[in-house]
Amino acid sequence: MDFQFTSEQELFRQEVRDFLEEEIRNGTFQPMCDGWIQGYSPEFTKKVAEKGWIGLSWPKEYGGQGRSHIDRLVLTEEMLRYGAPAACHWFADRQIGNAIMAYGTEELQQEFLPKILKGEAYVGLGMSEPEAGSDLASLQTRAVEDGDDYVITGQKMWTSCARFMTHVYLVARTDHDAPKHRGISEFVVDATLPGITIQPTIDITGSEAWGEVFYDNVRVPKKYLIGEKNRGFYQILNQLDYERAGLERLMGNYPLFDALIQFSKETERNGVPLCKDQSIRQKLAQLQVEFEAGRLLTYRVVLVIEEGRAPNVEAAMAKAYCTTFEQRLASVATEILGLYGQLLAESKWTPILGMAPHSYLGSKGYSLQAGTTEVLRNIVATRGLGLPAE
């Protein structure tokens, strides 16, 4: 088996690196942890769109570049390595565009896909509710048909990018009498419609990347339904595989990993560089081994997608493993950096830009978002290993 990338893929990797390094030199961004989900930069997204790197692997008939999923893997790996601020386009590129291509009407595709490709549609994910998280099928937000519209009422929690989204991907109940999995539909909704109120959720890191979104009799034209009415839950399950599948679950904090290695080389304790200390070398080597294992699990997911299969068990396995790697990385970073390492970015005494406490706190949520580790392990056990559900 050949584990190498092709020379074309390596050239593409270099092209992406050159672009990102140039953007850093130009001051468009500074590498950050969680840039894929918290890094707001319309300017950067526009430049990525101009390169044709949004929708890279979408089929050409939908305006994409028709490139392989491995090319997209190379692209995202480099975006994450450099901590690029990609939140404006990440979700639409990763999953909502795909959902619209797979299930949307031609009218919806023609209206929406070009906006995503041009980097003009910033889509947040509106699924979870106060009483519907792991058991998403319990959701209560309702969409009731009225003439040419659906009228939407309810409350969502943890909607990603709520602060700046132009559109929200929304799941709502369209049949209250049907069994709970069979009465749900998917929509893509203009986030500026009357009746929508967005309230930021300030998380443990102080970030406002997510929000609570309230829908009070919001009139959404019927053409914004994605796919078949009441069949939304089955479409969501497919989409969640893609949401869990990416390298962002492994490399969201790569700038911290990189900076930690650099810090260990440059910092002396008792006259000796940290990187010569046996226990620190051991910790860093262990992290590198775990990182490589996570990378292979994620590559496997991409190969499954490339074969045209949905990466269900593979994505569950990769996300469960990779997010716990990110939590260990943050823990080891705070150990190596010592007490100063716990200072936040605002402090002039904090090493490596305060990335360690940000990751330490932020990574706690990684094993909850997009499916908790317990739920993912259940998927591996039942669907992967064939163990009984009860």
Residues that bind ligand FAD (CB under 6 A): 125-128, 133-134, 158-160, 210, 365, 368-369, 372, 374-375, 378
Q: How far is CA 274 from the centre of its chain?
A: 33
Cβ distance to ligand FAD smaller for residue 353 or 375: 375
Phi, psi for residue 172 in degrees, rounded to 5:
-145, 160
Smallest gap from residue 134 Cβ to ligand FAD (A): 3
Smallest gap from residue 326 Cβ to ligand FAD (A): 12
Cβ distance to ligand FAD smaller for residue 200 or 273: 200
Exposed/middle/buried for residue 271 (C-beta within 10 Å: 0-12, 13-18, 19+): exposed
Neighbours of 13 (CB within 10 A): 18
Smallest gap from residue 240 Cβ to ligand FAD (A): 9
Smallest gap from residue 263 Cβ to ligand FAD (A): 27
Are 314 and 241 in contact by the 8 Å Cβ rule? The answer is no
Are 233 and 181 in contact by the 8 Å Cβ rule? The answer is yes
Q: What number of CA atoms fall less than 13 Å from residue 150's CA on the CB side?
A: 27
Angle at 310 between CA 305 and CA 311, to 5 degrees: 75
Cβ distance to ligand FAD smaller for residue 54 or 213: 213
Q: Which residue is nearest to ligand FAD (CB)?
A: 133
Cβ distance to ligand FAD smaller for residue 193 or 375: 375
Quick one: tokens of 301?
Answer: 């997911």
Cβ distance to ligand FAD smaller for residue 16 or 236: 236
Q: Is 68 helix (H, G, I), strand (E, B) or coil?
A: coil
Smallest gap from residue 128 Cβ to ligand FAD (A): 3
Cβ distance to ligand FAD smaller for residue 160 or 264: 160
Smallest gap from residue 312 Cβ to ligand FAD (A): 16
Are 275 and 103 in contact by the 8 Å Cβ rule? The answer is no
